[in-house]
Amino acid sequence: DAGVTQSPTHLIKTRGQHVTLRCSPISGHKSVSWYQQVLGQGPQFIFQYYEKEERGRGNFPDRFSARQFPNYSSELNVNALLLGDSALYLCASSPVGTYNEQFFGPGTRLTVL
Amino acid sequence: QKEVEQNSGPLSVPEGAIASLNCTYSDRGSQSFFWYRQYSGKSPELIMFIYSNGDKEDGRFTAQLNKASQYVSLLIRDSQPSDSATYLCAVFNAGGTSYGKLTFGQGTILTVHP
């Protein structure tokens, strides 16, 4: 079975631009979460979507938004990029009715110049 | 106080030794606990999860949970150079049935030297 997929792999943007990151969960998984990992730190929770509805949001500004589609894939949007948004953005999917294991995709490396 | 704290590293052990990684958490309502391994430049890979007090073994890995002490640990027996990575402790807090967020520690860098 295919794992979580994310696109693009790498992205370079300049300050003030916006970016859209994409994620496809493992087949059968209905929950998708987004995390930001800055170099040298653990991942920080941004959003969780389950059955196309936002179920949780971390301590991130309104410049960050996301949505989940009927096929359970998801997009993360970041507007008005700042240098501090440079990070590895991770998508994780989890099955329903388990102990909430979350499986991560390969991530998108975003560099803001 | 950080929500999830891991023992400061880096941790260096010789090949064949036992590596011990520790983690404490602040939220007593936390329900399940995860250990991820992350190689440099890669995404986190789930190694083990545990949700009830005691030990859980999987091959060379043993996770230990003590909810009263709010403490989770991971033991790696017969450590191999390929175990060299950053180990992330994560705690799950439910926002409802079947969903919630993982809160991660800062990670402990493990180096296994031949």
Per the CB < 8 A criterion, the answer to whether A42 and B104 are in contact is yes
Q: Are the C-beta atoms of B46 and A101 separated by less than 8 Å? A: yes
B residues 14-73 closer than 8 Å to A (CB): 31-32, 34, 36, 42-46, 49, 51
Tens digit of each residue's pLDDT (9 = 90 or more) over B9-39: 899 999 999 999 999 999 888 889 999 999 9
> How, if at all, do strands B45-50 and B54-58 pair?
unpaired
Lowest mean pLDDT among A102-106, B92-96, B107-111: B92-96
Cβ–Cβ below 8 Å for A101 and B46: yes
pLDDT computed for residue A97 by the predictor: 62
Q: How far from A1 is each of A32, A46, A69, B59, CA to CA, in Å?
A: 17, 27, 21, 23
pLDDT in tens, A31-88: 899 999 999 999 999 999 988 889 889 999 999 999 999 999 999 999 999 999 999 9
Q: Which residue on chain B is closest to A97 by alpha carbon?
A: B98
Tens of pLDDT, residue by residue over A84-98, are 999 999 999 988 665
Strands (E), B4-84: 4-6, 11-14, 19-25, 32-38, 45-50, 54-58, 61-66, 71-76
pLDDT for residue B8 is more than 80: no
User: Chain A to chain B, count of Cβ pairs less than 8 Å apart?
Assistant: 73
pLDDT tens by residue, B57-70: 999 999 999 999 99
Q: Is the pLDDT of residue B95 over 90?
A: no
Q: What is the pLDDT of residue B29?
A: 86
Q: In terms of DSSP bridges, do strands B108-113 and B85-96 run parallel, antiparallel, or are they unpaired?
A: antiparallel
Which pLDDT value is given to residue A100? 73
Q: Residue B53: exposed, middle, or buried by beta-carbon count in 10 A (0-12, 13-18, 19+)?
A: exposed
Distance to chain A for B66, nearest Cα, Å: 18
Taking CB atoms and an 8 Å cutoff, what residues of chain B touch A58? 101
CA A59 to chain centre: 14
Examine the pLDDT at B112 and tell me if it is beyond 90.
Answer: yes
**Other Cβ atoms closer than 10 A to A100:** 22
